[in-house]
Every structure is written in structure tokens, then in C-alpha cells.
Structure 1
Amino acid sequence: MTKFLLAVHVLAAIVAIGPVTVAASMFPPAARRVLEAPDDVRAAETLRLLHRICRLYAVVGVVVPVFGFATASTMHVLGSAWLITSIALTALAAVVLAALVLPRQSALVEGGTDARTRQATVQLAMFTGVFNLLWAVVTVLMIVRPGSTTGA
């Protein structure tokens, strides 16, 4: 059962978190293209598509910690420092996505072309980078698992 839960957890992470990190990273440059050419319909459609991908896969991404908790429970590692740290960083990544990335994306999809909007793309790129960095650290912790007896 542990192997099954671990496989689903890893697959969910790849399928759900991967698209969010990629689409979120592509969003600020796409938003800048829309600002440079506000009449470019294709650029605006791309922006809306990237935002939709981020919203959808953010919701789908909830299965990652659900199966992560199930896997950790069967492995009896819920009290491990590396796992607690990973849980905290995952929660922080979720907050960054929900509170800082997605609302700014929505504002840019709906917004105008003034100078503050250009600054908003810079801020969004920064928050997206923080989101991606948090997931990178969680991924490393999941692989290395400090104190693990697996020899990894």
C-alpha cells in the first residue's frame, strides 16, 4: 500500500504542480507582451489560458498533500523534521499561490495598460519565483530526506 500511495503522490506532484509552476512562470512575460501590444488578441488569449491553467491545477494540486499525508502515515514518518519542514513549505507555497500569484494574475487579465500594471508584472514574477523556489526546496527535501535510513 505504501508503494501505491507514494506512486500516486509523486505522479500527482508531477501532473498537478508541474503545470502550475510552468504556466505561472510563463505568465509575467506573456502579460508584458499584452502590455506592449494591447490589441494583440492572441497574446491576450494566451494570458487568459495561462491563468486558467494556474487556477485549475492549483485546485487539482490539493491531492498532492493528501496523498503525501497518507504516504507519510503508512511510512510512520509524520514526526520527522524533514517532513514537518516540507509540510510547512508546502503550506507556504499554497499561500503564496492563492494570496499573491493568482489574484495578481486575475488583475492583469482584467486590467489596463498603465505604468502600475507594468510594475505588477515585475511583482508577479517575483512572487512566482518564490512559489517555484518553495516547491524546489520541498522536492529536494522529499528526495534527500535528511536522517533517512534509505541511503539516499
Structure 2
Amino acid sequence: MKMKPSVYLYNETNDEVELYLGEFSTIQGLVLFDLESEFRLISFGATCYKNFDWVTEKELPEFSSIREIVSFLKKESDISIVDFESELPGLGSFSTHDDGECHFKLKSKHSALSILQQVAPEKYRDMLINQLLNNQKFYITCDNSGNVRKFGCFDDYLSKNT
């Protein structure tokens, strides 16, 4: 069964489209892109890697494509990512927090919609994407019955979902 995010946020600005996917891992977010896309790791913080209590991007090998970083993360499956920030030249940026909050800043609306097409539940895909486009800056959930809830800020979402 394909995993879906627990919460979504969509926001267009003059020069980028912001997309947030809650309870979605770093690997899940990365594989939404073409694996051959160019990749630059900007910052990285994690525990449980080799003999390090805390590891940063300085202790990691260099990665030039999304495929390389995904392969590394799958191989090092015990690594506990706390912060992950990357640049995807030509596409935008991708970051995660606590290996469960994916944050995209994309250069095109088309890229953001392509990601949403991949992650939204198939049965409610069009409705959910429409809700996101028409309720920018709101955190939105969609349950297994297609019921949509909107939250004005992340703290509101957390207070009603924990």
C-alpha cells in the first residue's frame, strides 16, 4: 500500500511554489523526483551513523544525483535524520525535519502539481488538489472517507491531531 502524507500545505509566491507533506520520510520525498536529477546536499544532521554520535554533511560522501543519496540512505537504514537540506538545480530545494516532514520549494507550479498527483490518495486526488489550490497557506488533511479539514497554522493541526 502506498503511503500518503497525513497533512498537506500548498502556497504559491511570485518566484516559487511551497509544498509541505507531513509524516512523509526523506526517502519518500526524494523519490518523487527524477532519480537522475542533479543533487546538492546543503546541510545534514543525524544520529546513528557509523561511530558518530552526531553526523553532519562533512562526514558523508559527496552525492551528485538523487539516485546516489537515495541509495546511500537505503543502505544506511539505521541512520536517524534530524535535519536534511538540499538544492535540486533547476527544480528548487527539498528539506526534511525529523525524517517525517517534507518541505519543497519548487521553481514551477507544474513540478508541485506533479508531486501532488503522486502522493494524493487516488480516490480523492482531484478534490484534494483543488482544495489545496483554493486554500493556499492552510494545512489540509484528507481522511480515508475523503473528509477534508483545514487548519490555519501547524499548531492548530497538531492540537487536533495528537
Query: Taking structure 1 as the reference length, what is the TM-score of the superposition?
Result: 0.24
Larger radius of gyration: 1
Give the helix-richer structure, 1 or 2.
Answer: 1
Give the strand-richer structure, 1 or 2.
Answer: 2
